[in-house]
Amino acid sequence: MRPKAELHCHIEGAVAPELARAQAEKYGVDLTGVLDGEGYVWRDFTGFLACYDRVAGLFRSEEDYALLAETYLTGLAEAGAIYSEIIVSPDHGARVGLGPNAYLAGLAAGIGAARDRTGIEGRMLVTGIRHLGAEAVVAAARFAATRPHPLVTGFNLAGEERFGRVADYARAFDIARDAGLGLTIHAGELCGAASVRDALDHVRPARISHGVRAIEDAALVERLADEGVVLECCPGSNIALGVFPSFAGHPLRALHDRGVKVTLNSDDPPFFHTSLAREYAVAAEEMGFSRGDIDGMTRTAIEAAFVEPSVKARLLSSL
């Protein structure tokens, strides 16, 4: 199996249905309207976020989060991944009464257990939740800036992209940048090219989470290529959410061919009936990428990883 790497997966979005059922049983939670025989139940992005929050609420202790991270990363390694960055949300821990340090300690234990079992390297990107407002995102950035755990290496902004303006969150990113964290931000998913331009101007991130709607503006695509900003592309997520109608109509190919650095990611895999392995398979089988192109995306992911240089060098040499 050829190696894979992932830069963009929300850990609360990586809960396999069988794990959700086991957690629901543990806490006596009724999953009607959340999970049925077909999978997670949602109709649009707003419904997806609501469903995601309900599933996150099934994880209430350090041990629950350790189990989630270990389960996800072990499965990912079995599918060929050597590296994974998970997006973690202390705000979701807080909702179930779990303090941010306990939340991270649980996830870190799971990352360590998966590494011991399979060799996969994992890192965590703390995220702010955009629709909780700028002050909540500043609080998340302040927490991340304390460098609460050595496996926390970056900062992201997720949630409802149509809420507020990128500039409202610039201060949070300044705090994270000053602390030496790697920066990435959700943009160009639900909003158009202007959101990607705003992200570049106000946040100056090394990477953009999605960013694919940059395709609506040729000059912006050229800027992304010139500046070497890496896009964490999640085609299966985009199709499931209706951002693009089909894999054939997805801009991954055009962005790649115009010199933008792109990578393959699963976002919230079971919510979107996908997995990292499926994203790799779809890129080859439905989007016409060669084996060399796809290996190049894996290399791009490791090169853009928010990980110490010594680990990065070891991962690159294993490709």
**Position with the least CB separation from ligand ADE:** 158
Residue 268 makes contact with ligand ADE by CB under 6 A: yes
Minimum Å distance from CB 163 to ligand ADE? 11
Q: Is residue 186 involved in binding ligand ADE (CB under 6 A)? A: yes
Q: By CB under 6 A, what part of segment 5-44 binds ligand ADE?
A: 10, 13
Question: Do 179 and 144 form a contact (C-beta atoms < 8 A)?
Answer: yes
Q: Which residue's C-beta sits nearest to Zn ion?
A: 267
Q: How many residues line the site for ligand ADE (CB under 6 A)? A: 10
**What is the Cα–Cα distance from 193 to 199, expressed in whole angstroms?**
10
Given the complex with ligand ADE, which of 115 and 131 has the nearer CB atom? 131
* Residue closer to ligand ADE (CB basis): 64 or 267: 267
Residue 189 is among the residues annotated as catalytic for this protein: yes
The residue whose two tokens read 């350090």 is 62
Map the footprint of ligand ADE across residues 234-263, applying CB under 6 A. 237
Residues in region 279-308 near ligand ADE by CB under 6 A: none
- Total residues contacting Zn ion (rule CB under 5 A)? 1
User: Of these, 267, 274, 287, 301, which contacts Zn ion (CB under 5 A)?
Assistant: 267
Which partner in Zn ion, ligand ADE, none is near 237 (CB below 5 to 8 A by kind)?
ligand ADE
Residue window 120-159: x/- pattern of binding to ligand ADE, with contact defined by CB under 6 A: --------------------------------------xx
Residue 13 or 270 having the CB closest to ligand ADE: 13
**In the bound complex, what is the minimum distance in angstroms from residue 267's beta carbon to Zn ion?**
5
Nearer to ligand ADE, 52 or 247 (CB): 52
| Least Cβ distance, residue 278 to Zn ion (angstroms) | 16
Query: CA torsion, points 166, 168, 169, 175, in degrees to nearest 10?
Result: 140
Q: Is 207 in the site for ligand ADE (CB under 6 A)?
A: no
Q: What is the 3-state secondary structure (H, E, C) of 35-102?
A: EECCEECCCCHHHHHHHHHHHHCCCCCHHHHHHHHHHHHHHHHHCCEEEEEEEECHHHHHHCCCCHHH
Between 24 and 127, name the residue whose CB sits nearer to Zn ion.
127
Residue from 189, 222, 227, 232 carrying the catalytic annotation: 189
Is residue 93 part of the contact set for ligand ADE (CB under 6 A)?
A: no
Stretch that binds Zn ion, among 95-103, 193-201, 264-272, 278-286 (CB under 5 A): 264-272
Give how far the C-alpha of residue 1 lies from the chain's centroid of Cα atoms, to the nearest Å: 23
* In contact, 235 and 276? CB cutoff 8 Å: no
For residues 24 and 153, which CB has a smaller minimum distance to Zn ion in the complex? 153
Instruction: Sort 106 into a burial class: Cβ within 10 Å, 0-12 / 13-18 / 19+.
Output: buried
By CB under 5 A, name the binding residues for Zn ion.
267
Q: Return residues touching ligand ADE (CB under 6 A).
A: 10, 13, 52, 158-159, 186, 189, 237, 267-268
Active site residues: 189
